[in-house]
Amino acid sequence: MPVPVPHPRTAVLPHQAGPADSGCAENARAAAVGMPAHGGCSGAGPLPRDLPAAELPRPVVDGRTAARPSAGHAPGATTEPVTSATSEAPDAADPSTAAVEPRPEPPAQGLTLLLIGEDPNNHVPEMWDWAGRKVRLRTARNLTEAERLLTDDVHCILLDLTPAEPTGREDRDPPRGDGPVGGPGGRGGDELAALRAVLRMAPAQAVLVLTCETDAERAAEAVRVGAQDYLFRDELDGKVLSRAVRYAVERKRADLAQRQLTESRLRAQENARLERGLLPTPLLDGSELRFAACYRPGRSRALLGGDFYDTVRTPDGTVHAMIGDVCGHGPDEAALGVELRIAWRALTFAGLYGDELLATLQKVLENERSDDEIFATLCTVDISEDGHRAGVCLAGHPAPLLARAGEQPELLPYEFGGPALGLLPEARWPRRQVELGAAWSLLMYTDGLIEGRIGEGTARLGQDGMTELVARQMASGLTGDELLEASVREVRALNGGELTDDVAVLLLDRR
User: Could you read off the pLDDT of 398-428 as tens digits, one per residue?
Assistant: 999 999 988 999 999 988 899 999 999 989 9
CA 343 and chain centroid, separation: 34
Is 60 exceeded by the pLDDT of residue 28? no
Q: What is the mean pLDDT of residues 52-68?
A: 44
- pLDDT of residue 487 exceeding 90, the answer is yes
43-52, 133-142, 422-431: lowest mean pLDDT where?
A: 43-52
Distance linking the first and last C-alpha atoms of the chain: 90
Tens digit of each residue's pLDDT (9 = 90 or more) over 166-176: 544 444 444 33
List, for residues 365-395, the tens digit of each pLDDT value: 999 998 999 999 999 999 999 999 999 999 9
Non-local CB neighbours of 213 within 8 Å, separated by 6+ positions? 232, 233, 234, 235
Q: Measured between alpha carbons, how far is 395 from 324 in angstroms, rounded to an integer?
A: 9
Q: Which of 160-174, 175-189, 476-490 has the highest mean pLDDT?
A: 476-490
**Average pLDDT for 61-87:** 39
**In the predicted model, what is the mean pLDDT of the chain?**
77
**4: Cα within 13 Å, side-chain hemisphere:** 25
pLDDT at 292: 96
What is the reported pTM?
0.55
Distances (CA, A) of 198 to 27, 150, 223: 38, 10, 13
Residue 122: pLDDT band by 50, 70, 90 thresholds?
Answer: low
- Predicted pLDDT of residue 76: 37
307-348 pLDDT per residue, tens: 999 999 999 999 999 999 999 877 888 889 999 999 999 999
Using DSSP's 3-state secondary structure scheme, residue 467 falls into helix
